[in-house]
Amino acid sequence: MKYILALSLLAGVHMAQAQTTVFSTDFDSSVAAPLNPGTAALTGVQGFAGLGPAGHTFGGQFLRSATGNVVTLTLGNLPTHDQINLDFLFAAIDSLDGTGSFPSGDFFKITLDGQTIFRESFANALPSQIQSYVPPTGVELARHVDLGFGGPGSYYTDSAYNLGADPTLQIIAHTGAVATFTFQVEGEGIQTLNDESWAMDRLSVSVSAVPEPEVFWLAGAGLLALWAVKLSSSRARPPRSSATAPGASCGTNRCGQCFSGRAVQA
């Protein structure tokens, strides 16, 4: 029973950190109201279909944007929280040109309440171009392959990323009741939709709360309960067989250790 109590208290800490999804869309039917797409439009995903981890893949339609355009997501009435998490699939379409001078200078930037939380260049046109974004393990889904749109071939290859798997966009400190995200490819390399573009699919936002101090006390109480159970069980163990033999006297040496009188006489 004590083990169950302790584990229940520890489970309470885990529950306190659970995420609450506050926005989610797959873009398959419409642009959800909290989104202001600017000039971006719902478009079939073409060759991106099926890319992504199981249950979280490109499919149907996504929101495709020209470079330079700003997509804004404004969420209000958020529940009490300390952290916010952003999750989406990112399509780098056609000849985005990475870091450098025009036509290079294509940086995908995300802001939260006016603060930049992500800004990296993406390069698709030539292997020699400089892409600043180095995806963490598990984020890159495709690179320099033709997934439709412009092309085929030439400069018009495409890339895909599961940006929600990038720790940069997870557990972001945030407490306000309103959160405003913007998404934009900006820089001096802006070109037309037929030359380069980007898209997002499976966009969701969740919030979570760090454990309150009293929850840490509960966790501490759980650990104390575990320690008490371990202590009481060790005290209940029978004495070791190497203890003083029956009938032998037990003296104490200068170090205070008990010894057998019979052993000393030998």
CB of residue 15 to Ca ion, shortest distance in Å: 45
Specify the DSSP class assigned to residue 3: H
Pick the closer one to Ca ion by CB: 97 or 166: 97
Strand pairing category for 41-44 and 61-66: antiparallel
Half-sphere exposure of 141 (CA within 13 A, CB side): 27
Half-sphere exposure of 7 (CA within 13 A, CB side): 4
In the list 88, 108, 149, 181, the residue contacting Ca ion (rule: CB under 5 A) is: 149
Q: Does residue 47 belong to the site contacting Ca ion (CB under 5 A)?
A: no
Q: Does residue 156 belong to the site contacting Ca ion (CB under 5 A)?
A: yes
Q: Does residue 106 belong to the site contacting Ca ion (CB under 5 A)?
A: yes
Question: Residue 40: is it exposed, middle or buried by C-beta count within 10 angstroms (0-12/13-18/19+)?
Answer: buried
Q: Does residue 59 belong to the site contacting Ca ion (CB under 5 A)?
A: no
Residue type, 58: F
The token pair at 120 is 């990296």
Evaluate whether 74 touches 182 at the Cβ level (below 8 Å).
no
Stretch that binds Ca ion, among 53-61, 82-90, 91-99, 165-173 (CB under 5 A): 91-99
C-alpha 123/C-alpha 196 separation (Å) is 10
Query: Taking the CA atoms of the chain, what radius of gyration do you get in angstroms?
Result: 30
| Residue-wise DSSP of 85-101 | EEEEEEEEEE--B-BSS
In a 3-state reduction of DSSP, which class is residue 231? helix
Contact characters 169-208, Ca ion, x per CB under 5 A: --------------------x-x----x------------
Stretch that binds Ca ion, among 18-26, 70-78, 102-110, 174-182 (CB under 5 A): 102-110
Pick the closer one to Ca ion by CB: 106 or 120: 106
Half-sphere exposure of 125 (CA within 13 A, CB side): 17
Q: Does residue 98 belong to the site contacting Ca ion (CB under 5 A)?
A: no
Pick the closer one to Ca ion by CB: 135 or 150: 150
CB of residue 142 to Ca ion, shortest distance in Å: 11
By CB under 5 A, how many residues form the interface with Ca ion?
12
In the list 52, 103, 135, 164, the residue contacting Ca ion (rule: CB under 5 A) is: 103
CB of residue 97 to Ca ion, shortest distance in Å: 4
Pick the closer one to Ca ion by CB: 86 or 193: 193
Q: What is the chain's percent helix, strand, coil content, to nearest 5?
A: 20, 35, 45
In the list 12, 34, 100, 151, the residue contacting Ca ion (rule: CB under 5 A) is: 151
Q: Contact residues for Ca ion (CB under 5 A)?
A: 94, 97, 103, 106, 149-151, 156, 158, 189, 191, 196
